[in-house]
Amino acid sequence: MSESQEGAKVEQQQHPISTYFWVWGGLFVLSTLSYMVDYMQFQGLLRWSLIIIFMLLKAGFIIAIFMHMFYERLALACAILIPTSFLAVLIGLMWLEANNTNMTRDTYLDEGSGVMVTEHGSSH
């Protein structure tokens, strides 16, 4: 605790330096692992799930420890993290939309040319 300029009590983020070294090391290991996913040329579902797992772990460590979110009051964490979680809706909707666009293109467009295919052959 210390005095801020308004004289109100504010909390200081003081944590042992070893915590930061551990997280730093952890992030190095996780980055190496995600690089290995590409280096070993894992493909398909295995590749995508490994990429997402390592990404979320790294993001979690950075937000929780480096940005001190784990130590902050719940009110602040909620104010930041709950609105962010709504992005899942955007991602889901756009994913459906993109697949629909892709399907329409596959059905109605000539391969790669961007020319519409009609019953009487291709036309502009």
Partner 1 sequence: MANEAVVDDTGRSIAVVEGLQGVVTDWSSDQQAFKRVPWGKAMMWIFLLSDTFIFACFLVGYMMVRSSTTSAWPNPSEVFALTLFGKSIPLILIAIMTFILISSSGTMAMAVKFGYEKNRKITTILLVVTAMFGASFVGMQAFEWSKLIEEGVRPWGNPMGATQFGSCFFMITGFHGFHVSIGVIFLLIVARKVWKGDLENMKPGFFTTRRGGYEVVEIMGLYWHFVDLVWVFIFAFFYLW
Residue ranges in contact with partner 1 by CB under 8 A? 1-2, 4-6, 8-15, 17, 20-21, 23-24, 27-28, 31, 34-35, 37-39, 41, 47-48, 51-52, 54-55, 58-59, 62-63, 65-68, 72-73, 75-76, 79-80, 83-84, 87, 90-91, 94-95, 97-99, 101-102, 105-106, 109, 111-112
Least gap, CB of 12 to partner 1 (angstroms)? 5
For residue 37, the tally of other CB atoms under 10 A from its CB is 18
Nearest to 12 by CA among 21, 3, 1: 1
In the complex, least distance from residue 124 CB atom to partner 1, rounded to whole angstroms: 18
If we measure between CA atoms, which residue out of 6, 15, 2 comes closest to residue 71? 15
Between the two ends of the chain, the Cα-to-Cα distance in Å is 71
In terms of C-beta density within 10 A (0-12 exposed, 13-18 middle, 19 or more buried), how is residue 120 classed?
exposed
Give ∠ CA 69-11-13 in degrees, rounded to 5.
50
Q: From the CB of 118, what's the least distance to partner 1, in Å?
A: 18
